[in-house]
Amino acid sequence: MRVLFALLLLTLPAVAQETSVDIQVRDDRHDPLRNAVATVGGCTGTLISNTVVLTAAHCLPPVFRAEKPPDAELAACKGLTQQSGLQKGSWEDPFTWYPSGSGQTPTLRLTFGDRRKKNRLVRKVTAYALPRCADMALLRIRTTLPLYLARPFPVASIPPLNPDRILAANRLRYAGFGMPRIELAPAPVRQTGQVAYWGRNDCHVVGLPPNRSDGRRILPGDSGSPLLLEQAGREIMVGVLWGSGTPDRAICGDVIPRQPDRHGSYTPTWRGSLEGTDATDIGAWLRAMVPDAEHVALAP
């Protein structure tokens, strides 16, 4: 994971460092509605059904994935080569679950609850699924979690009619396990804070997560963390953090105004297929692969 994160940083803009900032992040509450945000190895992920977690694909290194058959071809991500690179390429059928943590494959572990105390549970990943040309992954665990510990978030997999207006008008929240250095991740306590909406294009939503003490807004270990939007008194998952930057602009388009150096880039959970590419329709993929999740359309 250290190597993967280092490679990720090499492809992204430098992060501005500040000596004095308004620290906006805080410890998150320990309750079932918040504990759906869990650790995924050294990353963060979000429970969206009783047995499925949504995270970033680069949080699932190749060592945890099934062996590529000799005749399998990598997805042709023409125009989306940077995003395909973050995912480390995919040969898998997006609409198939593949085994993980069996045979010669190491086991990836997820931790739900308060990592400092006894009221936590660890679950092993048994299967995964990857979309084409997106830094996103689904992880399946063998057994459900007790409702007193964690409850899944609904996911906005149905494309909204006016995403800019919705994202700008509603409260957005960060929750993750970032630490100053990748070897320290995940954090012992889940962190949280408000996210300011900045802009979007066809592939990404750009936001400003809460400030940390060193001036950064995202840290190693935050990869895979959710963008949560509050509507009608409840929070809905609307994006997955993969890093910062706006890659593949020829296909995805520009973000206007240009984003500041310190920002977070999320893959929206409703991202559609992209003309001229093999990109998976993310919303349709989520609905097909996790039918027992609560799939919602955001109110305009």
Per-residue pLDDT of the chain in tens (300 residues, 90 and over written 9): 333 333 343 333 333 333 345 879 999 999 999 999 999 999 999 999 999 999 999 999 889 999 999 999 888 888 888 878 877 778 999 999 999 977 766 889 999 997 776 778 999 999 999 999 999 999 999 899 999 999 999 999 999 999 999 999 999 999 999 999 999 999 999 999 999 999 999 999 999 999 998 889 999 999 999 999 999 999 999 999 999 998 899 999 999 888 998 999 999 999 999 988 889 999 999 999 999 999 999 998
Phi-psi region of 101 (alpha: psi -120 to 50; beta: other; left: phi over 0): left
- Residue 235 phi/psi, 5° resolution? -100, 145
The answer to whether residue 236 sits within a structural domain is yes
The answer to whether residue 253 sits within a structural domain is yes
The answer to whether residue 188 sits within a structural domain is yes
The answer, yes or no, to whether the previous bond of 220 is cis (omega within 30 of 0) is no
Domain residue limits at 44: 2-17+27-297
Coil, helix or strand at residue 183: helix
Bridge partners (DSSP) of residue 138 are 54, 129
The answer to whether residue 267 sits within a structural domain is yes
At 231, which CATH number?
2.40.10.120
Kindly list the distances between the CA atom of residue 167 and the CA atoms of 29, 199, 239, 262, in Å, as whole numbers in the listed order. 24, 9, 11, 19
Q: Tokens in use for 279? A: 């990109």
The answer to whether residue 222 sits within a structural domain is yes
The answer to whether residue 283 sits within a structural domain is yes
The answer to whether residue 22 sits within a structural domain is no
Q: Quote the number of domains for the chain.
A: 1
Q: What is the secondary structure of 145-160 as a DSSP string?
A: PPTTT--PPPEEEEPP
